A and B are shown apart, each in its own frame.
Chain A
Amino acid sequence: MFFAGAAGLVAFYLWGLLGLPGFGNYPGPYGPAILRVAVAQTQATGVVSAVNFEYRGFDTVGEEFILFTAAAGTAIVLRMLRGEGERSPVDEARDRDAPPTSNAVRTIALLFTGPVVVVGWWLASHAQTNPSGGFQGGVVLATAFILIYLAGAFLTFSKLSPTDVTDAVEAAGAGGFAAVGLAALFTGLPYLYNYLPLGQIPGAVSSSGTIALISFFVGLEVAAAFLLIVSELLEQTLLIRHGGR
């Protein structure tokens, strides 16, 4: 029955796809209009970021909070339940050794940590000049922490990202974005209005007003949310919980 339904649906979908305009035949007014006005209006040469964080910035608020909610949801589902304790696992089979993390993995992971931080930071803070931005930068930043875990240092990993702090950073990122938008209202401007000086040179790091600021907050939020989700999952796998209801 599933296959019959799926076949019917696919047929219907393909029937509709035949009506799509040809490749490269862009029908709408949106693209040309944005390309004409974006750089002049925002002084940002990263037009993708200008769309993300300015023209359609309100969508991005929503998307950011979806991630925020997802992280909170993970925390709810995987939280330590009342009466449960945690301990590190002890190998029950005493006659074999756990394979240690190989030196090659350690070296490479630690070697990459620094550059990854730099690249992530750069991505998150240069949205105005090229199509990077907080989403990509945040994910890369979170990777740096995961590299530390890969290098075999779970304890260092959890010390570097205690849940309360990650939570606070995540909230600061999400709330910061919403607050940047809200600040415009105090001067009677619409929500998310770009009220900061735009700078003189399109494509300069200091150009584009709120776009750069918002991208930075998104970077914070995304990095913290990923870190939170990963560390919840790691805790679930690496620590044994006992007791319970």
Chain B
Amino acid sequence: MDHLFALSVAVPLLVAAALVGVKPLLSGRRRMLDTVAVLTAASVAVMLLVIMVQTDGGDRVYWFAGFRPFRGVVIGIDFEAGPLSAGLAALAAVLVTASMVFSWRYFERVATYYHALMLTFLAGMTGFCLTGDIFDLFVWFELMGVSAYALTAYRPEERGPIQGALTFAITNSVGAYVSLSGIALIYGRTGALNMAQIGAYIGRHPPDRLVVVAFLLILAGLLVKSAIVPFHFWLADAHAVAPTPLCVLFSGAMVELGLYGIARVYWSMFGTALGHRAEISHVFLTLGVLTAVVGALFCFRERHIKRLLAFSTISHAGMFLSGIGLLTPLGLAGAAVYVAGHAMVKGALFLCTGIVLHRLGSVNETWLHGRARHLRITGVVFTLAGLGLADLPPFGTFLGKGWIEDTGSAHGMPWLMPVFVLCTILAGGAVLRVAGGVFYGLGDPPSEDERMARAANEETSETDADKRRTPLTMIIPPTVLVALAVAIGLTPLGPAADAAAVRFADQAAYNATVLRGAHVAHPVAPFAAEAAGITVSDVVTGLVSAAGALLLAYLALYWRRLPVLRRGYEPGTGLTTLAEGFQSGVVNDYVTWMVFGLACLGGVLALIIR
């Protein structure tokens, strides 16, 4: 059964090559093309779910070409899968399947290439999650990146997509090359590329400067991919121009994969070697909280619905990073569940936006005000997903965030909870404001911001099909995703997620599994496993966040009719005037911020670990 490891990457690659190879035969046979692609993505999802269930008792290792470690020295490449890595890959595959169903008969013009690239994108994400080799990680990271750049630029007749794709490609490539130079440094130090082997080697010595520099450089590409402030600028620009089904993958999986990479790199290579756990945790938390706040503020003032959702993703990425950055198993488990719940509701939100774009040809919140009343089902799904984004129990989101907050409180950071609740209220309120205004025509349309309106109006319809109706293939995927989000919240995931996270964070067990083929079922973790379950405080915070978001949405919609304080102030404006100049759309500025951020982080790390 271990062959599933190889098949989960090889099958989508092979199908992608086959689709391009028989391209002339497929023209005009659109249904066949769609069916093959959807079935491939769905079969990969099933394979990965099977791997996830199989590894519940203990991680499994697969050695490509059969090269097992030779007297403890790794000469081949391995896949190392546990429930968290396989689960994240499965999540990505589910989202790809949903997007492919949604884009049934979408994109008439570049049909074959679109399908092939979606499949290579999926293979890249799967390989990235499962690999146990740092260079292999980079290879799949690049495959994922190149597929994503190409798909973003799918409408070259317009200026926006080309520019957004270029910004995306340049910033992410710069990050990737910095990561590659970090990999070169760590290879220079250890002569190994297998993560377990590197971890075992550098763990035997006190941390030296080379290891510190390599750590930061490897993180650079991952921080860019996961849109952590100040590496986040490309994300909103790319989301604004990318085809909507692709946004689902960017927000729901790609950003989270970057964060997974950070956790993987830390826990399987550098955790033991670097030491200074508390200080490194503070660095991650600072980045995470900053990202959560900046993303939430930008989200609230946005009027371009796709950009608004993208900024909410940035805010969530910050919260995920905080969960990972607490550097405890429960924080990690919380982040994992939060990622799963968020992916479902965010995917549903983007797909509903795609329906609006298909039917009404716009993503401008102001213009759309009250115009989508007739899209009843879409409106209900969008609103439900918005409530899910605001952490309303029983959507899976409230569980994950609750665990992160509990861990924070247990480690002397009780302020984490109010900050997160505030960020959730801002982002959730913005999405619910869109829901109330666009789908139900409540209150007044928000004021037109000239720059935003121009950007939003550039977005034209992506579809070629009949615009007078919503095909079933468009409305079913978001509905299913919302249902899955509820299912995640209702399943008693606690013990399984916690056990998986304990194992993920146990470097000794990881090394034994990879290097000696040991089957580590219940490792002696460095921390006592904290209990993960649904506590009253999780439910209460979730309810408070959702209520706050609803209230904020109400205030934003009815602001001008309120008797007090209506002096022409528009909610949201002014919040971010300072930061507005930063989001210039000019790639030079973005790279400057990246370099600056890396230099600052380097200085901080150098001071911590000398």
Interfacial residues, chain A to chain B (CB-CB below 8 A): 1-2, 4-9, 12-13, 15-21, 26-31, 33-34, 37, 54-59, 61-63, 65-66, 68-70, 72-73, 75-79, 81-82, 164, 167-168, 170-172, 174-175, 178-179, 181-182, 185, 189-194, 244-245
Q: Does B139 contact A (CB under 8 A)?
A: yes
Q: How far is the CB of A35 from chain B (nearest CB, A)?
A: 11
Is the CB–CB distance between B157 and A244 below 8 Å?
Answer: yes
Contact indicator B66/A193 (Cβ below 8 Å): yes
Q: How far is the CA of A61 from the CA of B23 in the complex (A)?
A: 22
Instruction: State the main secondary structure of chain A at its contact with B.
Output: helix
Please state if B120 and A65 are interface contacts (CB–CB under 8 Å). Answer: yes
Residues A19 and B209 in contact in the complex (CB < 8 Å), given A37-B75, A56-B76, A61-B13: yes
Which 9 A-B residue pairings sit nearest by Cβ, starting from the closest?
Answer: A28-B191, A16-B213, A73-B150, A8-B599, A171-B21, A175-B17, A191-B6, A19-B210, A5-B596
Q: Does B457 contact A (CB under 8 A)?
A: no
* A15 and B193 contact, CB distance less than 8 A: no
Contact check: which of B7, B22, B133, B599 meets A6 at CB < 8 Å? Answer: B599
A73:B210 contact, CB within 8 angstroms:
no
CB closest residue in chain A, given B210: A19
Residues of A within 8 A of B588 (CB): 2
Known interface pairs A16-B210, A30-B193, A76-B110; A62-B140 also in contact (CB < 8 Å): yes
How close is A184's CB to chain B, nearest CB, in angstroms?
8
Can you list 25 A-B pairs with a CB-CB distance of less than 8 A? A9-B599, A15-B213, A20-B210, A30-B75, A30-B192, A37-B75, A54-B65, A56-B76, A57-B64, A59-B136, A65-B120, A65-B143, A68-B16, A69-B147, A76-B117, A76-B151, A79-B110, A164-B23, A171-B22, A181-B10, A182-B6, A189-B66, A191-B5, A191-B6, A192-B6
- Please state if B592 and A5 are interface contacts (CB–CB under 8 Å): yes
Q: Chain A contacts of B598 at CB under 8 A?
A: 5, 9
A13–B117 touching, CB < 8 Å? no
Q: Which residues of B contact A26 (CB under 8 A)?
A: 191
Q: How far is the CB of A52 from chain B (nearest CB, A)?
A: 12
> Which among A56, A78, A167 has the greatest number of chain B C-beta atoms within 10 A?
A56
Is there an interface contact between A29 and B157, defined as CB atoms closer than 8 Å? no
By beta carbon, the residue of chain A nearest B193 is: A30
Question: Quick one: which of B77, B110, B189, B592 contacts A21, CB cutoff 8 A?
Answer: B189
Bound together, the chains give a CA A56 to CA B109 distance in angstroms of 38
Q: Are B156 and A16 in contact (CB under 8 A)?
A: no
Q: What size tier do the contact residues of chain B reach?
A: 35 or more
Which of these, A28, A33, A61, contacts B70 with CB under 8 Å?
A33
B208 in the interface (beta carbon within 8 A):
yes
- In the assembled complex, the Cα of A14 lies from the Cα of B150 at a distance in Å of 35
Instruction: Report yes or no: B70 in contact with A77, Cβ–Cβ below 8 A.
Output: no
In the complex, what distance in Å separates the CA atom of A6 from the CA atom of B600?
A: 10
- Which B residues lie within 8 Å of A245 (CB)? 157
Q: Are the CB atoms of A18 and B191 closer together than 8 Å?
A: no
Partner of A55, one of B3, B65, B123, B142: B65
How far is B153's CA from A78's CA once the two chains are assembled, in angstroms?
10
- On chain B, the residues within 8 Å of A172 by CB distance are 17, 21
| Known pairs A69-B147, A185-B6; A18 contacts B75 (CB<8 A) | no
CB pair A56–B77 under 8 Å, yes or no, is: yes
Among B23, B74, B154, the residue within 8 A (CB) of A167 is B23
For the complex formed, measure the closest distance between the CB of A70 and the CB atoms of chain B, giving whole angstroms. Answer: 6
From known contacts A62-B136, A68-B17, infer whether A182 and B10 are also in contact, taking CB-CB under 8 Å: yes
Would A73 and B149 count as touching, CB distance under 8 A? yes
Q: How far is the CA of A72 from the CA of B188 in the complex (A)?
A: 35
Are the CB atoms of A20 and B189 closer together than 8 Å? yes
In the bound assembly, the distance between CA atoms of A31 and B66 in angstroms comes to: 19
Closest to B601 in A: A12
Contact with A along B567-607 (1 / 0, CB 8 A): 00000000000000000000010011001111110110010
